[in-house]
Structure 1
Amino acid sequence: MLLSELITPSLISCELSGRTKDDVIGELVNLFASENIIENKDEFIEKIKAREQIESTAIGNGIAIPHARSSSVKKLAVAFGKSKDGVDFDSADEKPVYLFFMIAAPENAHKEYLQAVAKVARFLKCNGIKEKLLTASSKEDVIKIISEFDNIYKNGISVKTKEGRVIYTQK
């Protein structure tokens, strides 16, 4: 699975306007809805919020990866959004979040869902990726950054779980 197979220019917003966690969730869900990836926005938003209630998906360092599986999702996809001013997303480090990768997966796509979460996490751990994304000024810039990553890590990621957490290793 390549990250570029999950995210397209129409699923990218380099200028999120939301000032709150709920605003940003709504904006990213709207990207999926505009591409007919989800059938019921409200139901998917509730799934995302339910996941956030378990534990914030803000992983620190200005990054969040909100994600959920839902029967209203037609196909696995990833949306990207960037906030210029940052948003309080209940991050463990208590710092604002600037970069958001939302993952939407069909209810029955458990393995693919975990692979997508692992792929996005691996992408964000790569040296210099955060800085490149923060300075990206267009959808095309973001796609280029993702494509460069895909070219380096084509072989994929092996996904395992332990105590409900994703553990990944490069194949």
Structure 2
Amino acid sequence: MSLPELTLNVPPLLDLDVTTENDAIRRTAGLLGNCAEVSNFPGFLDAVFDRQRINPPLLGNGVALPHARTSLVSEIVCVAARCAAPVPFGSEGKPVRLIFLFGIPPHRIAEYLALTAALVKRLRNPETIEGLLAAESADDFLRWLE
């Protein structure tokens, strides 16, 4: 069975230089600032932060999956970033280097769950994590997600 393909709306942001969770999310989400599928970027960003405050979605292995289920996006949107150094996330300050940020419209939740399940399966492989962290270009980064 083939896994759903993750499609990023823009190339990943590599070596993001931030020190806080909020800055990491703000800069990663900022990649969607001009995305046609996001009807209200400030509202979308607020929805992501609201979700983070409830229960930050941390995968472990240095991966965070911030997201918002909101009508402010017309289709599933996704962006990725790699932090230059570990950034503390959540109340326990778990170190994160890889961020995959999603916006999900209410009518696409089942597709989002299948997509994230496939992504999580890929990210459970230590070689994939190492490859993403060592990727020298956006193309190299994306190849590790195939």
Give the alignment's TM-score, normalised by structure 1.
0.75
Quote the offset at 1:136 in angstroms.
0.7
**Structure 1 SS opposite 2:56:** coil
Once the two structures are TM-superposed, the CA of residue 2 in structure 1 deviates from its matched residue by 2.8
Per the TM alignment, residue 118 of structure 1 is displaced from its structure 2 partner at its CA by: 1.2
The separation in 2 between residues aligned to 1:25 and 1:11, in whole angstroms, is 16
Shift of 1:79: 1.0
C-alpha separation in 2, matches of 1:139 and 1:113: 23
Which position in structure 1 is the counterpart of 2:46?
A: 46
Larger RCO: Structure 1 or Structure 2 (Cα < 8 Å, ≥ 6 residues apart)? 2
Q: State the SS of the aligned residue for 2:38.
A: coil
**Percentage of identical aligned residues:** 27
Code of the residue aligned with 1:143 in structure 2: it is L
Q: Give the letter aligned to residue 133 of structure 1.
A: L
When Rg is computed on C-alpha atoms for both structures, the one with the higher figure is 1
CA 1:50–1:57 in 2, change beyond 3 Å: closer, same or farther? same
Q: Deviations over 1:113-150 (max 9, x none)?
A: 21122122112112411100110121010111122xxx
For structure 1, the 5+ residue unaligned runs are 148-171
Structure-2 separation of matches of 1:135 and 1:114: 27
Partner of 1:162: none
User: Are 1:101 and 2:95 counterparts?
Assistant: no
Task: Check 1:100–1:27 CA distance in 2 against 1; reply closer, same or farther (3 A cut).
Answer: same
- Structure 1 match to 2:66: 66
| 1:132 corresponds to | 131
Q: What corresponds to 1:3 in structure 2? A: 5
Is 1:30 the equivalent of 2:30?
yes
Task: Please list every run of 5 or more consecutive structure 2 residues that lacks an aligned counterpart in the other structure.
Answer: none
**RMSD of Structure 2 on Structure 1 (CA):** 1.9
What does 1:73-92 align with in structure 2 at a 5 Å threshold?
Answer: 73-90=73-90
Instruction: Specify the SS of the correspondent of 1:88.
Output: strand
Separation in 2, partners of 1:91, 1:134: 24
Runs of 4+ deviating beyond 6 Å: none
Following superposition, the deviation at residue 91 of structure 1 comes to 6.6
Aligned twin of 1:167 = none
The secondary structure found in structure 2 opposite 1:34 is coil
Give the CA deviation at 1:67: 1.5
Alpha carbons 1:7, 1:77 under 8 Å: kept? yes
By how many angstroms is 1:19 displaced?
2.0
